[in-house]
Amino acid sequence: MALKMEPLEEFMLLTIDRPQALNALSFALLQDLGQHFDAMAKSKARALIITGTGDKAFCAGADIGELMNRDRQAQKHGAELGQSVFAKLDKLAVPSLALINGFAFGGGLELALACTFRLATPNAKMGLPEIKLGLIPGYGGTQRLPRAIGQTRANEMILTGMTIDAGKALDFGLINQVVSTEKKIEEAIAFCRRFSGYSLPALSYARSAILRAHDLPLSEGLQVEADLSTLAYSQQDADEGMRAFSEKRPAVFKDQ
């Protein structure tokens, strides 16, 4: 099995387990990822943490051998497969976190970009090097990277194929935090606990509103925000949250 998914306290840990291939994404692995994301959607975990086996690579990208000698229809199908699988992360009721331990290139960085949050160990290296092969990113990189770090820096990364380290990624706003190699799992859990106690419906509405911010003019985005904030207000958790605030006690959310 090239993927392992297991409970990790109140979360779920999904590990890409192809160390001999630097945890590269084959088409079969992409399909398996989609199935694991579907299974995650049915779980009661409070967040999904994604990482790679070992300290050398989170995911080194697509399996280049599979990309050679394919016709245009096969290439388009492959790009659409990667895009559709990674889009499942947007639809999860819970946030996701990429724990980047080592290389995250091409499709590996695109997987991380599809996650809600990104943490990286000090030895992490990230990039979208497709231009060096006469290609461009195909699993969402050209769309998600500018949304994460802005067009100017995305142009530089994509058009030059540059590699950046964890420190530069933090400066760019590509990752949320640098974590220690020795305690990366513990620090990922601690990061997830910053939001995992909140109401899942409220977290989902907030994530949806943020995602739509890049797709809509401000006036339409504000209407989406008004609609989603109204939905959040209608939840029992909103009543509990406001009551707890008034009573000066911690809120006990029930995801309702």
pLDDT(67) > 90: no
User: Are the CB atoms for 117 and 73 separated by under 8 Å?
Assistant: no
Lowest mean pLDDT among 16-20, 114-118, 156-160: 16-20
Counted residue by residue, the chain has a size of 256
Task: Out of 6, 80, 130, 220, pick the active-site residue.
Answer: 130
Question: What is the model's pTM?
Answer: 0.94
- Residue 155 is predicted with a pLDDT of 98
Buried b (16+ CB within 10 A) or exposed e, 183-200: ebeebbbebbeebbebbb
Distance, in Å, from the CA atom of 253 to the CA atom of 57, rounded to the nearest integer, reads 37
Task: Give the model confidence (pLDDT) of 80-102 as tens digits.
Answer: 999 999 999 999 999 999 999 99
Higher per-residue pLDDT: 74 or 176: 176
| Domains of the chain (ranges, CATH numbers) | 3-192 (3.90.226.10), 200-246 (1.10.12)
Per residue, the 3-state secondary structure of 85-142, as one string, reads HHHHHHHCCCCEEEEECCEEECHHHHHHHHCCEEEECCCCEEECHHHHHCCCCCCCHH
Task: Give the model confidence (pLDDT) of 192-211 as tens digits.
Answer: 999 999 999 999 999 999 99
130 catalytic? Reply is yes
- Residue 119 is predicted with a pLDDT of 98
User: In sequence order, what are the residues at sequence separation of 6 or more whose Cβ sits closer than 8 angstroms to the Cβ of residue 208?
Assistant: 224, 228
Distance, in Å, from the CA atom of 191 to the CA atom of 81, rounded to the nearest integer, reads 30
- Tokens 């079969």 — which residue? 28
10 catalytic? Reply is no
- Residue 95 is predicted with a pLDDT of 97
- Residue 66 is predicted with a pLDDT of 78
User: Are the CB atoms for 237 and 249 separated by under 8 Å?
Assistant: no
pLDDT(4) > 90: yes
Task: Give the model confidence (pLDDT) of 44-64 as tens digits.
Answer: 999 999 999 988 999 998 777
Distance, in Å, from the CA atom of 97 to the CA atom of 15, rounded to the nearest integer, reads 12
Averaged over 216-228, what is the pLDDT?
95
Strands 117-120, 163-165: pairing kind = unpaired
Task: Out of 110, 156, 186, 225, pick the active-site residue.
Answer: 110
